[in-house]
């Protein structure tokens, strides 16, 4: 050993210590390198991988909800894992959840349609969360439908669409929505001007006189008391809403003020090749007299002007967005040169010429400053750091980090694609969050992504903005969506439920009048109207046979009796096109005309867990006028069949005893381990015993029929009793598993 080697050795020691303390074991490292090499990953890829990888049981930091364009379906995903959690039908029927299939959701969609149509698509681009004090409260989400002029409300306790309304005046609607800072109003605007009188008009000569635009303030009420089922469901109240009538402006993206700018709505509009920001102060509109058009309250332009509630601000053309800063001080017009405009100066505007009676101001009098950002700037987003904002430059393929206070460009990130929409978590609230930026990429170019035929997905890119150098770390493909803006909230702000109160109509939150509990299943007939009150529980649909006549109008009212987590049952009648999805506790109804005769099996279309057998039954539709091949013949059981049923009954009694043994052992264990101390476990146990109590009738019946030698009836009732038992056993076992976990972990999430 000579002295020259000492520095090398020292370096070695330092590195060795480094490795030893780094938590990466040597064998692991070797394997990791093999994988890196085999998959052609570089160091940046490895870092990106571990920034986004979500192990089993892990939790994302944020929930994100995407504007999905013409799919009409909400997409929920997690950040930073970028895994898609759920698709939820909003403007488009969706069979997996039975949306637009059961009577309850169809009724809701028809209420949201002026002519009773159920539309099959929408165009939803910019959702908005409900807010309290300018902050996301995690309760509701709103979407506007640009294609069919609707607005939708989703409840975030169960991620379901709760209300859809069709606009009474707008034929063309901007596909974005914004709320005021306490969700007093949900705001929607028109997009392309149209007539409001169902008449045509000349596009040139009559444009200014006949074509109209508008802004609608949908009054929103969030009940402070729960509904019968324990649900909180807010509502937009049509009768308390109003629309501001405007001259024919092509209306684009808009936003609301907050804090000191609460009360303002600012949006982009075009007319005759010129571009404007419209600024509306809605509290000034609330007290004005309304005229009624199409049963809708309308504030006329002239009344609004007289009240000083509306103005237009002429701006350079090409702007794509206008957004309020998190502090509420500015509204920023996103353009190649971004305009930082001061809300405080709006009150004292000097105006010039008027358009349709609305005064027009020049933008420079509101300007706090401007910043040259790039080419074809498409969107801006805000950071939690004071004054920090981001811009997407479509033409330059880059993201610009800049500061709207200092008016400086701070840094840039070059991308391999032209970015369009941007999103930061909670970035459209008074409380922007976190270190992530989402950029939308609408070009599924072959060089960047695998070829999957002529139409490709859009992409959400996750950009790490935590450090001085922004990094594009994940490319997420979003299928079945034409992506626009997303909104995102801290995951823990949303408090989803696990199951519904038994018998819930999930669209209204009320307990359904058709709720049916075990043992009370029945078939009611009145003339050609048949109501089936049925239940679903692993692994049984009750009743098992339904006989109707061709031409009858039939409704299956079904209740999922399950209390277990994620124990949804589906229901379909083969070739009848009748379908529903029943989450635990849900009651829904499926109405149809029995217009085809024959034998139609119905079955559960959702895999239902460990005790799964195919849940099935039979719908018999007797042909009109058909009396049987030999006329009306009463069919009786043969002696052989009777013997068969006796054997079936006796076999079932053995199974019943075995199942009871399981129940007894679970109950003993639960009692020994004080299940009452854990309210969630106790609820499960009580559910289980409730069911078993209802089963008493079934037990009495099978014993009675057995005594009378009526083996078929005895067997069927024994079967029914066993179904309750199985449910009791299963819930008991789940309670036991849960309690074991609780005891082990002392109740950690």
Binding to a second copy, residues 402-431 (CB under 8 A):
416, 418, 420
Interface residue with a second copy among 294, 317, 445, 469 (CB under 8 A) is 445
> What are the DSSP calls for 612-673, one per residue?
----EEEEEEEPTT---BTBS------HHHHHHHHHHHHHHHHHHHHHHHHHHHHHHHHHHT
Nearer to a second copy, 219 or 712 (CB): 712
Q: Is 500 in the site for a second copy (CB under 8 A)?
A: yes
Interface residue with a second copy among 4, 7, 23, 672 (CB under 8 A) is 23
Q: Is 41 in the site for a second copy (CB under 8 A)?
A: yes
Nearer to a second copy, 57 or 287 (CB): 57
- Which one of 135-143, 403-411, 440-448, 713-721 is the stretch in contact with a second copy (CB under 8 A)? 440-448
Give the number of residues in contact with a second copy, rule: CB under 8 A: 181
Residues from 706 through 725 that contact a second copy (CB under 8 A): 712
Cβ 683 to a second copy shortest distance, Å: 14
Contact 535, 559 (CB under 8 A): yes
Nearer to a second copy, 450 or 654 (CB): 450
Q: How far, in Å, CA of 50 to CA of 44, rounded?
A: 10
- Which one of 51-59, 234-242, 253-261, 399-407 is the stretch in contact with a second copy (CB under 8 A)? 51-59
Going from the C-alpha of 602 to that of each of 232, 516, 607, 715, the distances in angstroms are: 34, 19, 15, 22
Cβ 89 to a second copy shortest distance, Å: 9
Which two three-digit tokens encode residue 60?
């994302």
Residue 597: CA atoms inside 13 Å, Cβ hemisphere, count? 9
> What are the DSSP calls for 7-42, one per residue?
HHHHHHHHHHHHHHHHT--HHHHHHHHHHHHHTT--
Q: How far, in Å, CA of 568 to CA of 615, rounded?
A: 12
Which two three-digit tokens encode residue 601?
């099996």
Cβ 569 to a second copy shortest distance, Å: 11
Interface residue with a second copy among 2, 4, 7, 57 (CB under 8 A) is 57
Q: Is 740 in the site for a second copy (CB under 8 A)?
A: no
Interface pattern 585-624 for a second copy (x via CB under 8 A): xx---------xxxxxx-x-xxx-xx-----x-x-xxxx-
Residues from 146 through 205 that contact a second copy (CB under 8 A): 146-149, 157-160, 166, 171-173, 191-192, 194-195, 197-205
| Surface-to-core class of residue 714, CB atoms within 10 Å of its CB (0-12 exposed, 13-18 middle, 19+ buried) | buried
Q: How far, in Å, CA of 442 to CA of 457, rounded?
A: 8
Interface residue with a second copy among 221, 547, 661, 700 (CB under 8 A) is 547
Nearer to a second copy, 52 or 488 (CB): 52
Instruction: Please count the other Cβ atoms lying within 10 Å of the Cβ belonging to residue 26.
Output: 9
Q: Is 3 in the site for a second copy (CB under 8 A)?
A: no
Residues from 345 through 384 that contact a second copy (CB under 8 A): 376
Cβ 192 to a second copy shortest distance, Å: 4
Contact 496, 160 (CB under 8 A): no
Cβ 317 to a second copy shortest distance, Å: 11
Q: How far, in Å, CA of 688 to CA of 441, rounded?
A: 50
Residue 715: CA atoms inside 13 Å, Cβ hemisphere, count? 14
Instruction: Please count the other Cβ atoms lying within 10 Å of the Cβ belonging to residue 644.
Output: 15
Residue with tokens 């390198």: 33
Q: How far, in Å, CA of 333 to CA of 78, rounded?
A: 30
Q: DSSP 3-state assignment of 99? A: strand
| Surface-to-core class of residue 557, CB atoms within 10 Å of its CB (0-12 exposed, 13-18 middle, 19+ buried) | buried
Nearer to a second copy, 287 or 454 (CB): 454
DSSP element (H, E) containing 676: none
Nearer to a second copy, 361 or 548 (CB): 548
Q: How many residues does the chain have?
A: 749
Sign of CA dihedral 727, 733, 738, 739: positive
Interface residue with a second copy among 71, 161, 180, 723 (CB under 8 A) is 71
Cβ 494 to a second copy shortest distance, Å: 9
Q: Which residues contact 729 (CB under 8 A, 6 or more apart)?
A: 659, 662, 663, 666
Interface pattern 560-589 for a second copy (x via CB under 8 A): -----xx-x-x-x-xx-x-x-x-xxxx---
Interface residue with a second copy among 482, 493, 555, 686 (CB under 8 A) is 482
Nearer to a second copy, 395 or 513 (CB): 395
- Which one of 74-82, 286-294, 360-368, 515-523 is the stretch in contact with a second copy (CB under 8 A)? 74-82
- Of 707, 705, 686, 691, nearest to 659 by C-alpha is 691
Q: Is 444 in the site for a second copy (CB under 8 A)?
A: yes
Q: Is 447 in the site for a second copy (CB under 8 A)?
A: yes
Which two three-digit tokens encode residue 14?
């330092």
Cβ 26 to a second copy shortest distance, Å: 7
Interface residue with a second copy among 67, 72, 134, 247 (CB under 8 A) is 72
Which two three-digit tokens encode residue 277?
């920001």
Cβ 640 to a second copy shortest distance, Å: 11
Interface pattern 385-404 for a second copy (x via CB under 8 A): ---------xx---------
Cβ 370 to a second copy shortest distance, Å: 24
Q: How far, in Å, CA of 280 to CA of 274, rounded?
A: 19
Residues from 623 through 642 that contact a second copy (CB under 8 A): 623, 626, 635-638, 641
Identify the DSSP state of 94.
B
Interface residue with a second copy among 65, 66, 92, 724 (CB under 8 A) is 92
Which two three-digit tokens encode residue 26?
């040597």
- The alpha-carbon radius of gyration of the chain (Å, integer) is 32
Residues from 229 through 288 that contact a second copy (CB under 8 A): none
Nearer to a second copy, 308 or 318 (CB): 318
Cβ 528 to a second copy shortest distance, Å: 17
Q: Which residues of 363-388 are buried (b: 16+ CB within 10 A; e: fewer)?
A: beebebebbebbebbbbbbbbeeebb
Residues from 100 through 129 that contact a second copy (CB under 8 A): 100-101, 115, 117, 119-123
Q: How far, in Å, CA of 102 to CA of 86, rounded?
A: 20
Cβ 580 to a second copy shortest distance, Å: 10
Q: Which residues contact 377 (CB under 8 A, 6 or more apart)?
A: 320, 334, 335, 336, 338, 391, 392, 393, 394
Cβ 115 to a second copy shortest distance, Å: 7
Cβ 155 to a second copy shortest distance, Å: 9
Nearer to a second copy, 123 or 687 (CB): 123
Which two three-digit tokens encode residue 365?
């009098």
Interface residue with a second copy among 67, 78, 138, 732 (CB under 8 A) is 78
Nearer to a second copy, 329 or 442 (CB): 442
Point out which residues pair with 292 in neighbouring strands. Answer: 297
Interface residue with a second copy among 40, 116, 292, 353 (CB under 8 A) is 40
Q: Is 50 in the site for a second copy (CB under 8 A)?
A: yes
Q: Is 2 in the site for a second copy (CB under 8 A)?
A: no
- Which one of 49-57, 236-244, 330-338, 514-522 is the stretch in contact with a second copy (CB under 8 A)? 49-57
Nearer to a second copy, 29 or 664 (CB): 29
Nearer to a second copy, 212 or 702 (CB): 212
Nearer to a second copy, 376 or 686 (CB): 376
Residue with tokens 């009145």: 526
Cβ 256 to a second copy shortest distance, Å: 23
Q: DSSP 3-state assignment of 195? A: coil
Going from the C-alpha of 387 to that of each of 72, 221, 283, 336, the distances in angstroms are: 35, 33, 28, 18
């Amino acid at each position: 050993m000579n002295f020259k080697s000492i520095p090398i050795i020292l370096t070695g020691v330092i590195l060795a210590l480094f490795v030893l303390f780094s938590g990466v074991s040597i064998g692991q490292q070797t394997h990791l390198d093999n994988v890196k090499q085999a998959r052609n990953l570089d160091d940046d890829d490895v870092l990106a991988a571990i920034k986004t990888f979500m192990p089993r049981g892990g939790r994302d930091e944020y929930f994100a909800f995407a504007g999905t364009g013409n799919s009409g379906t909400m997409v929920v995903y997690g950040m930073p894992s970028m895994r898609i959690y759920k698709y939820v039908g909003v403007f488009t029927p969706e069979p997996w959840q039975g949306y637009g299939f059961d009577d309850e959701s169809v009724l809701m969609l028809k209420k949201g349609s002026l002519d009773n149509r159920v539309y099959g698509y929408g165009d939803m681009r910019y959702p908005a969360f409900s807010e309290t004090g300018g902050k996301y409260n995690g309760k509701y989400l709103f979407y506007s439908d640009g294609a069919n002029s609707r607005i939708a409300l989703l409840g975030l306790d169960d991620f379901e669409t709760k209300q859809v309304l069709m606009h009474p005046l707008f034929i063309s609607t901007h596909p974005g929505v914004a709320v005021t800072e306490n969700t007093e109003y949900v705001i929607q605007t028109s997009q392309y001007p149209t007539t409001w009188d169902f008449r045509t008009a000349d596009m040139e000569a009559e444009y200014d006189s006949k074509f109209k635009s508008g802004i609608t303030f949908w009054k929103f009420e969030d009940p402070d008391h729960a509904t019968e089922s324990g649900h909180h469901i807010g509502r937009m109240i049509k009768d308390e809403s109003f629309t501001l009538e405007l001259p024919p402006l092509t209306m684009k993206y808009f936003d609301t003020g907050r804090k000191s700018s609460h009360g303002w709505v600012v949006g982009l509009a075009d007319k005759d090749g010129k571009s404007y920001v419209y600024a509306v102060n809605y509290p000034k509109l609330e007290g004005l007299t309304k005229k009624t058009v199409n049963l809708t309250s309308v504030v006329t332009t002239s009344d609004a002007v007289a009240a000083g509630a509306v103005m237009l601000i002429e701006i350079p053309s090409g702007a794509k967005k206008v957004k309020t800063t998190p502090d509420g001080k500015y509204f920023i017009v996103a353009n190649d040169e971004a305009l930082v405009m001061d809300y405080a100066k709006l009150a004292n505007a000097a105006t010039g010429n008027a358009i349709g009676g609305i005064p027009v101001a020049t933008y420079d009098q509101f300007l706090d400053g401007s910043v040259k950002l790039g080419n074809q700037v498409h969107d801006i987003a805000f950071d939690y750091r004071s004054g920090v904002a981001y811009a997407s430059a479509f033409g330059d393929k880059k993201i610009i980090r800049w500061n709207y206070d200092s008016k400086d460009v701070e840094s840039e990130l070059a991308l391999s694609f032209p970015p369009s929409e941007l999103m930061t978590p909670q970035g459209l609230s008074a409380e922007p969050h976190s270190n992530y930026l989402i950029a939308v990429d609408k070009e599924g170019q072959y060089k960047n992504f695998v070829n999957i035929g002529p139409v490709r997905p859009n992409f959400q890119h996750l950009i790490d903005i935590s450090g001085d150098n922004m990094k594009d770390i994940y490319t997420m493909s979003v299928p079945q969506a034409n992506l626009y803006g997303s909104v995102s909230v801290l995951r823990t702000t949303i408090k989803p439920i696990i199951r519904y109160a038994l018998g819930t109509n999930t669209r209204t939150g009320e307990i359904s009048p058709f709720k049916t509990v075990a043992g009370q299943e029945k078939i009611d007939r009145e003339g050609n109207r048949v109501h089936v009150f049925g239940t679903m529980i692993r692994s049984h649909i009750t009743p098992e046979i339904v006989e109707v006549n061709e031409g009858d109008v039939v409704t299956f009212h079904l209740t999922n009796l399950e209390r277990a987590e994620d124990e949804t049952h589906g229901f379909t009648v083969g070739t009848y096109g009748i379908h529903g999805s029943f989450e635990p506790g849900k009651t829904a109804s499926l109405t149809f005309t029995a217009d085809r005769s024959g034998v139609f099996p119905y079955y559960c279309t959702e895999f239902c867990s460990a005790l799964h057998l195919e849940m099935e039954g039979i719908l018999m539709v007797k042909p009109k006028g058909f009396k049987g091949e030999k006329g009306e013949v009463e069919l009786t059981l043969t002696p052989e069949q009777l013997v068969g049923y006796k054997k079936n009954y006796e076999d079932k009694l053995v199974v019943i005893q075995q199942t009871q043994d399981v129940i007894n052992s679970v109950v003993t264990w639960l009692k020994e381990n004080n299940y009452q101390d854990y309210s969630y476990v106790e609820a499960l146990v009580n559910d289980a015993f409730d069911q078993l109590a209802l089963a008493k009738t079934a037990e009495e019946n099978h014993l009675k029929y057995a005594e009378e030698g009526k083996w078929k009836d005895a067997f069927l009732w024994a079967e029914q009793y066993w179904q309750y038992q199985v449910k009791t056993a299963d819930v008991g076992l789940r309670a036991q598993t849960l309690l074991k976990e609780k005891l082990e972990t002392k109740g950690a999430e």
